[in-house]
Amino acid sequence: KNQVEQSPQSLIILEGKNCTLQCNYTVSPFSNLRWYKQDTGRGPVSLTIMTFSENTKSNGRYTATLDADTKQSSLHITASQLSDSASYICVVISYSNYQLIWGAGTKLIIKP
């Protein structure tokens, strides 16, 4: 069964610290993987997309990695800011039918 699991479910860190969010998937065949940021009370907004051949991609203080062999992706946030408080959602696209499999998200809280 195609599944996407994210960990941890929630995370609290101090402002200025780094953190890494995990996304493990069992989707096959794999097309690509996208990370979304969802602020409280808002819709998700895309941060980055990772294709099969990409290992690392950065978007400002956000760096996503992908290991297609182990079917794992991570989102690393550097020098966290209060505005990084949000839920981060991983979604994997299956190549066979372009199905989107959504993770439940990681809720990140940045404390001053």
Number of residues assigned to the chain? 112
Q: Closest CB to another protein among 44 and 86? A: 44
Residue with tokens 């860190």: 13
Q: Which residues bind another protein (CB under 8 A)?
A: 4, 9, 31-32, 34, 41-46, 49, 89, 91, 93, 98-105
Q: Closest CB to another protein among 13 and 49? A: 49
- How far is residue 84's CA from residue 108's CA, in Å, rounded to a whole number? 8
DSSP state at residue 84 = G
Q: Closest CB to another protein among 63 and 94? A: 94
